[in-house]
Amino acid sequence: MKQDKIQATQIEIRCYSVKELATLYQLSGKTMKKLIAEFAPDIGKRVGHCYTPKQVRVIFDEIGIPGTINLN
């Protein structure tokens, strides 16, 4: 049986800042902002300095869950 993904850790869906998301994905803040900008219409505007849990779910759906390796 072939597995499509290997998940390293469980990530909590909560409010995250750009810096916290960048840390999860092991990217710089600038790179994370550019990556998020590609999906801005789907994600929506931040509330203050953080993305809401609903927005974080969209980010994880679009970019992928941090710590997950796709084997396809």
Q: What is the pLDDT of residues 44-63, one digit of tens each?
A: 999 899 999 999 999 999 99
Strands 50-51, 16-17: pairing kind: antiparallel
DSSP state of 3: -
Torsion from C-alpha of 6, 11, 17, 18, nearest 10 degrees: 0
CB 70 within 8 A of CB 6: no
Q: Token pair 């927005």 is at which residue?
A: 55
What does the pLDDT read at residue 62? 92
What does the pLDDT read at residue 42? 94
What does the pLDDT read at residue 1? 45
In Å, how far are 5, 34, 55, 58 from 14, measured between CA atoms? 23, 21, 9, 12
Q: What is the pLDDT of residues 8-58, one digit of tens each?
A: 567 889 999 999 999 999 999 999 999 999 999 999 999 899 999 999 999
